[in-house]
Structure 1
Amino acid sequence: MTARNILLWSPSAIVFDCDGTLMDTEQHWQEARNITFRLFGLKPPTGFADRAKGVHYSECGALMAEETGKPNLGDDLADTLLTTFTALVDQNPVTMPGAAALVRLTARHLPLAVASNCPREMVESCLHRAGLLSSFSHVVVAGEDIRPKPEPDVYRVAARLCGVPPEEALAVEDSFTGMESARRAGLRVIGIGPRPEAPEAKHADLWVPSLADQELVRWASSWIDA
């Protein structure tokens, strides 16, 4: 679906990613990765931050171990990464530009959900401290029966809980990992950030620089009018 076509469509539900989409936590993940590498006396591989973006923390720990030649440290790295990240977020929870306004605008008229690779307690704590948790009908996280992104499970479950078919739901994402998950689940996707070059641009139906983008806000207002 082209950007022009998607702007003529209205979703029946919206599913938001959390990290980097609603909450400005990517800086915390990056700092937590750097601290974790340092605590274990390891050097971050070149470009690791890009490869780790949107990846479940347990898989990130395994990736850290693999790329530093320490395969036996995967679990320890993952545990330290999560503990460090949690402490950093507790100190400084910050919402992404436009996130709070868009959530509050749309929550009055559409069912909203969150689909995240982070632990539930972390997602709910961040949203609660930002004053946004009550706007969401459902929070879906990766777990024992729900595979993490890029598998489609979190988005598929979120759409079902919102009571709509996946093709009637809109995903809002900042990472290619999350966009792949949403597209595999059958949702249409808004990508947050600079529009990349092809073929990566095809990960999203529409790219906007932030959730404060005026075209996005006008489009969201049209859903309410509809």
Structure 2
Amino acid sequence: MVDVGVQAPNDGVLAQDFVRFAVESGVLRFGEFKTKAGRMSPYFFNAGLFDDGAKLGRLAEFYAKALLASGIEFDMIFGPAYKGIPLAATVAVELARLGRNVPFAYNRKEAKDHGEGGTLVGAPLKGRVLIVDDVMSAGTAARESIALIKAAGATPHAVAIALDRQEKATENGVDVEHSAVQYVRNQLGMQVCAIAKLADLLLYLSKNGGAEMRVHHERVFAYRQKYGVTEG
């Protein structure tokens, strides 16, 4: 089934290209990794490893194409500290290159007590704001960004992420039946654009590579069976 709340970038080609790019860049890795929820995950996505100009520029291209294909309308971009800062800046640059020039802003973790002061940097927050981040595990960063945007008098309108893990969120240490993406969509009323989802990763693993990839597919599929959310 298709999760209609997450805007599909296209027919799946962009998602598959992105997964391949993330794997080949060493950003999407396989093994055993402990998540924030305390689960042992067979894969890990670390956007901080898009750590040179070429990779960051390519990442921004994927975000921009997914956003333009999604049809989501927004007036500006906001990047939550810290990973969201370079994402917001580079996505704004790539969108401008593609003919969609929008302002962007980001926040500091600590308020500045000199110069212009405050925690916000960049263009004034106003209109419909798109939050750009890497993944959503619990929706905590999104809620913090929403509070900042509302306090500035703007409207938190949508979220763009690189990968939707499509797994159950946790609340007070207990698994719930919805994912962080579903929470943001259904409870906070915001649109979500994901470049790729866990389903896209599984498809990639099923079609690429030999025995090693098949093992990764089996482990990721088993994880999805245990912690995956019901779509729709």
* Same topology, TM > 0.5: no
Q: Which structure shows the bigger proportion of residues in helix conformation?
A: 1
